[in-house]
Amino acid sequence: MKTIKGPAVFLAQFAGNQPPFNSLEGMCKWAADLGYKGIQIPTWEHSLIDIDIAAESQDYCDDLKGKVNSYGLEITELSTHLQGQLVAVNPAFDIMFDSFAPDAVKNNPKARTEWAIQTVKNAGTASGRLGLKSHATFSGSLLWHTVYPWPQRPNGLVKMGFEELAKRWLPILNHFDEHDVNVCYEIHPGEDLHDGISFERFLEATANHQRVNILYDPSHFVLQQLDYLSFIDFYHDRIKAFHVKDAEFNPTGKQGVYGGYSDWKDRAGRFRSLGDGQVDFKSIFSKLTKYECDVWAVMEWECCIKSSSQGAREGAPFILNHIIEATERSFDDFAGTEIDKEQLKKILGI
């Protein structure tokens, strides 16, 4: 069995305009001082990485990796969550998602999609140059507005939607394959890949492409009331990245799974700091270890109650206390004996 690597931290929720959060070196020192061993880098934060240069220059990537390593850290994955989102945007969301795009392609959905596809490809090239094996992203969504259909969906809509999603992603997946990097989609409400069934539809639409994999984040399953433990049983061979994020679901007589118009702190389903929610992390770490999932345990902090500084301080020891050092021998080896076929036959009565 494999021991899960960690603890690591996703930098997206902490990056900012003030030191130490406005530079790679500053964030590396901050993370290392808190006990983290890895960082997941959001590629839209230009103070941390220039993904276009990284795709072109091995020297740049070597220098970037060297800076991170000098703090006793490793890069776990690069992330293109925002750019991946823009690979597939339904026109209903054009205005809101334009905020993720550079000015040159705003108000131009076709150009925005082309830019997003190329940028995610660049992240694949950069990941290869950095020696990474997995990449974190979103699938985007063409169908999400029909997830609870009224009026009813026309026949063939879902099939066509996944065919179009696959059409946009296949050139990216093939590019990542050339660089020996897995594309790990965060299974997430709001994305067309939001549960096991939708993941399977996409997998089928891409002809079971070997680079279609999963970023496993149990918090999004709690909010959907999906069994996040049996999910691992079904899809462990495709889980290549792991966000350690907590959540809770407390339905009332006024709101449940779809209670999304309340502020985050007032919702039935809300994200929490590690240890403050309802996720059974002991069972998750046990299953991922049992199935030999070769992943980094990366904290993604999102909480509407606790401060980010406290969440960051508590995250590293929480993950470290849950990582299981995989055993290399059976507990009952002491009672074992050499194979004696004649003895075995006697025991079986044959």
Q: What is the pLDDT of residues 218-276, one digit of tens each?
A: 999 999 999 999 999 999 999 999 999 999 999 999 999 999 899 999 999 999 999 99
Mean pLDDT, rounded, for 60-65? 98
Q: Whole-angstrom Cα distance, residue 124 to residue 137?
A: 11
Residue 66 has pLDDT above 70, yes or no: yes
Q: For residue 107, is it left (φ>0), alpha (ψ between -120 and 50) or beta?
A: left
Q: pLDDT at position 337, please?
A: 72
Give backbone dihedrals phi and psi of 187, rounded to 5 degrees, phi first. Answer: -75, 115
pLDDT given at position 335: 58
284 band by pLDDT with thresholds 50, 70 and 90: very high
Read off the pLDDT of residues 98-122 as tens digits, 9 standing for 90 and up.
999 999 999 999 999 999 999 999 9
pLDDT digits (tens, 9 = 90+) for 159-182: 999 999 999 999 999 999 999 999
- The pLDDT of residue 334 is 57
The confidence score (pLDDT) of residue 330 equals 64
Residue 267: phi, psi to the nearest 5?
A: -80, 155
pTM for this one? 0.95
Q: For the chain, how far is it from start to end, CA to CA, in angstroms?
A: 35
Residue 74 pairs with which residues in a beta bridge?
38
Rounded to whole angstroms, the Cα distance separating 287 from 308 reads: 28
In the chain, where the domains are located? 5-348
- Contact call for residues 247 and 223 (beta carbons, < 8 A): yes
| Lowest mean pLDDT segment, chosen from 8-17, 22-31, 126-135, 327-336 | 327-336
Which of 112, 212, 210 is CA-nearest to residue 162?
212
* Overall average pLDDT of the 39-65 stretch: 98
pLDDT(39) > 60: yes
Largest interatomic CA distance in the chain: 79
Residues 6+ apart with CB under 8 A from 219: 243, 245, 246, 247, 271, 277, 279, 302
Predicted confidence band of residue 333 (pLDDT cuts 50, 70, 90): low
* Residue 214: band (very low, low, confident or very high) from pLDDT cuts 50, 70, 90: very high
Q: Fill in the DSSP letter of residue 154.
A: P
Tell me the H-state helices in 148-265: 157-178, 196-205, 219-224, 228-235
Angle at Cα 345 formed by Cα 344 and Cα 350, nearest 5°? 155
- The DSSP string of 78-136 is EEEHHHHHTTSB-GGGHHHHGGGS-GGGTT-HHHHHHHHHHHHHHHHHHHHHTT--EEE
- Average pLDDT value for the chain: 96
What CATH number was assigned to the domain covering residues 5-348?
3.20.20.150
In the predicted structure, residue 332 carries a pLDDT above the cut 70: no
